[in-house]
Amino acid sequence: MARSLCPGAWLRKPYYLQCDKYKTGVIDGPACNSLCVTETLYFGKCLSTKPNNQMYLGIWGNLPGVVKCQMEQALHLDFGTELEPRKEIVLFDKPTRGTTVQKFKEMVYSLFKAKLGDQGNLSELVNLILTVADGDKDGQVSLGEAKSAWALLQLNEFLLMVILQDKEHTPKLMGFCGDLYVMESVEYTSLYGISLPWVIELFIPSGFRRSMDQLFTPSWPRKAKIAIGLLEFVEDVFHGPYGNFLMCDISAKNLGYNDKYDLKMVDMRKIVPETNLKEIIKDRHCESDLDCVYGTDCRTSCDQSTMKCTSEVIQPNLAKACQLLKDYLLRGAPSEIREELEKQLYSCIALKVTAHQMEMEHSLILNNLKTLLWKKISYTNDS
């Protein structure tokens, strides 16, 4: 079995399942041999806080990476509940033996149409998925590879990694085995420069934690470069090649950066296709607006005449990103731009999806913020 560098029996369970399925021919993928046979995929620091949210730092051969396993369930779960343990009884049950490649493509196309809406270029995405699924690059997708790919496509993060594979701020997919996947390592796994064990986090008051965070941040020019990266990622998911994605948990713990202070996303589980979220939430029963929330940041309103949630998310991604960046950027900001920076950030936070000409305002505010920050840091060593 792959070696784990961290204690805890429940942390070892995912690859036991993977290797059992791999050795019986149920699943396959480029990471399976290293995970189960040569034992060259090592599990390191445990980043998990719950047994069903499994994430580790790891090493694959000589390459550092992040290993994740079944980080989420489909969006049909109740919004207020904890993620359920994965249902091993039905996992890897599709496609079935005898399914042709053409039939598998039709399955994937139908899944994408349900998740992403009726995009005109879904066939291109299907072909891209088949290329990714062909882990051994032999020009064919085996049944085991197809089962692995189908399980992974239920996960928003995996789908987004494939869609944005050429974008700078999306971690690269290194490989997979079943629903376990390995992604590019990120040197700093939080927007702030300090991370504590989750057990300790439970006992730190939120106000004190915010003050402590502000003390452990990079220099202001480096913070500005990281912030520009977040703004660019917002552009990537806003009306991208396969529709709009909503960022439903924009928090410091989900954002990281590398040694060049380029932003890298650490956790994209709660970045969901807009079409999919609207379809799920539109008929949800509600008593107040508090019942119409997905993640922490995607909120709609409760229609009191029908006691159902509306489908339109109130706040766009950019406004939520600016809310996160406000304190991050204003602390230590150069005096000559602080007033203008604060003005632009508050204009950004005030953005509403329902505003007239929202898309034009969105583009204008985003570009103005990026320009202001770049002008200030473009001639510094930190840029």
Q: What is the per-residue pLDDT across 287-312, written as a single tens digit (0 to 9) for each?
A: 999 999 999 999 999 999 999 999 99
Q: Is the pLDDT of residue 77 over 60?
A: no
Min mean pLDDT across 22-36, 78-92, 267-281 is at 78-92
Q: Exposure pattern of 233-247 as b/e (b: 16+ CB <10 Å)? A: bbbbbbeeebbbbbb
pLDDT tens digits for 236-276?
A: 998 888 989 999 999 988 999 999 999 999 999 999 999 99
- Which domains, ranges and CATH numbers included, belong to the chain? 14-71+93-184 (no CATH), 198-274+312-378 (1.10.510)
Per-range mean pLDDT, top range of 79-83, 208-212, 218-222: 218-222
- Is pLDDT of 205 > 90? no
Q: How far apart are CA 12 and CA 6, in angstroms?
A: 9
CA torsion angle for 180, 184, 190, 194 (degrees, to 10)? 100
3-state secondary structure the chain: CCCECCCCHHHHHHHHHHHHHHHCCCCCCCCHHHHHCCCCEEEEEECCCECCEEEEEEEECCEEEEEEECCCCCCCCCCCCCCCCCCCCCCCCCCCCCCCHHHHHHHHHHHHHHHHCCCCCHHHHHHHHHHHHCCCCCCCCCHHHHHHHHHHCCCHHHHHHHHCCCCCCCCCEEEEECCEEEEECCCECCCCCCCCCHHHHCCCCHHHHHHHHHHCCCCHHHHHHHHHHHHHHHHHHCCECCECEEECCCCHHHEEECCCCCEEECCCCCEEEHHHHHHHHCCCECCCHHHCEECCCEECCEECCCCEECCCCCCCHHHHHHHHHHHHHHCCCCHHHHHHHHHHHHHHHCCCCCCCCHHHHHHHHHHHHHHHHHHHHCCCCCC
Q: If you average pLDDT over residues 126-154, what whole number do you get?
A: 95
- Nearest of 201, 256, 158 to residue 49 by alpha carbon: 201
pLDDT tens digits along 307-319? 999 999 999 999 9
Classify the C-alpha dihedral 255-258-260-262 as positive or negative.
negative
Asked whether the predicted pLDDT for residue 47 surpasses 90, the reply is no
For 38-67, b where at least 16 C-beta lie within 10 A, e where not — what string?
eeebbbbebbbeeebbbbbbbbbeeeebbb
The span from the CA of 178 to the CA of 173, in Å, is 14
How does residue 10 score in pLDDT terms, banded at 50, 70 and 90?
very low
Query: Is residue 100's pLDDT more than 60?
Result: yes
More confident residue, 145 or 199: 145
Share of the chain above pLDDT 90, in %: 65
* Confidence band for 75, pLDDT divided at 50, 70 and 90: very low
Q: Which of 341, 340, 314 is nearest to 326 (CA)?
A: 341
In the chain, the largest separation of any two C-alpha atoms, in whole Å, equals: 68
**pLDDT score, position 195:** 63
Provide mean pLDDT across the span 30-52. Answer: 85
